[in-house]
Amino acid sequence: MEIDTHYINQIEIIINIFTIANGKIKILLFRRDEDPFKGYWMLPSNLLMTSETIEECANDTIYEFSGLKDMHLFQCDVMSKIDRLPNDRILANSLIGILDEETITLKREKRKITSEWFDIDTIPKTVYDHNDIIENAIKMLKNKIKNNELLNIFYPSDFTLPELQLVYEQVFNKKLDRRNFRKKMINLKIVEDTGDKNIGKNGRPPKLYRFTNKEQNFLDI
């Protein structure tokens, strides 16, 4: 069957990679080393080949840019503005990737391209429409955290309630009362006490908790 070229579009696979470090949500960006936008930051991306799936392209791109594997991925958005790129008609398929901090430390392979983790509240200048893509991804990520999703992926092992509270404060953009936060988390059985303490900290060691995987909406926190 002959296909009208008016219906042929290229697709760019773009990945927003998030982690949580010290109670702060961060996104991994890479510095562009050539014009246009030399010195600006960008998300990892590649054009989708006809011989691969979106997931295959995303995983290969993540590994190419960052040296990371086995990331939790899910669909985020599609950007289809005609002029999103100056000279080409390319749709952007945006995905979100989630990694815990320990996996990054232990499994990441070094790459020559300059990269940096940025707090989601301090995103630098980026290439093309990547700021819009990041903004949409952050909005989706926050909504999922508000509905008690994904945090068990960010925290596959134990954590303290103070660091978890910092995450929720960033998501809801407000300061939370420490006692009320602890009471709600425990009473709603979102977390459970492991019986262990974080003995590596100075002063009185805080208790360590884990998620119970009980679903609960936190829009009214």
Judged by DSSP in three states, 62 sits in helix
Is residue 146 pLDDT above 90, yes or no?
A: no
Give the ranges where 67-160 is alpha helix by DSSP (H). 101-107, 130-146, 151-154
| Percentage of the chain lying above the pLDDT 90 cut | 70
80: nearest Cα among 88, 91, 72: 91
The reported pLDDT for the residue numbered 215 is: 59
pLDDT value, residue 212: 87
Q: Under CATH, what is the fold of the domain 5-146?
A: Nucleoside Triphosphate Pyrophosphohydrolase (3.90.79)
pLDDT at site 81 = 93
Structural contact between residues 47 and 130, judged by C-beta atoms closer than 8 angstroms: no
Average pLDDT over residues 55-66: 96
Q: What is the pLDDT of residue 114?
A: 94
Could you tell me which residues come within 8 angstroms of residue 166 by beta carbon, excluding any fewer than 6 positions away?
22, 23, 24
Residue 121 contacts residue 84 (beta carbons within 8 Å): no
Look up the pTM and report it. Answer: 0.91
Q: What percent of the chain has pLDDT over 70?
A: 93
> Where along the chain do its domains lie?
5-146, 157-211
If you average pLDDT over residues 10-20, what whole number do you get?
97
> At 102, which helix (H) or strand (E)?
helix 101-107
* CB-based contacts of 202, cutoff 8 Å, min separation 6: none
CB atoms within 10 A of CB 170: 18
Higher pLDDT, 155 or 148: 155
pLDDT digits (tens, 9 = 90+) for 172-210: 999 999 999 999 999 988 899 998 887 665 657 789 999
**Is the alpha carbon torsion for 105, 111, 117, 120 positive or negative?**
negative
Provide the 8-state DSSP code for 126.
B
Second-level CATH architecture of 157-211: Orthogonal Bundle (1.10)
Q: What is the pLDDT of residues 98-139, one digit of tens each?
A: 999 888 877 788 888 999 999 999 999 999 999 999 999 999
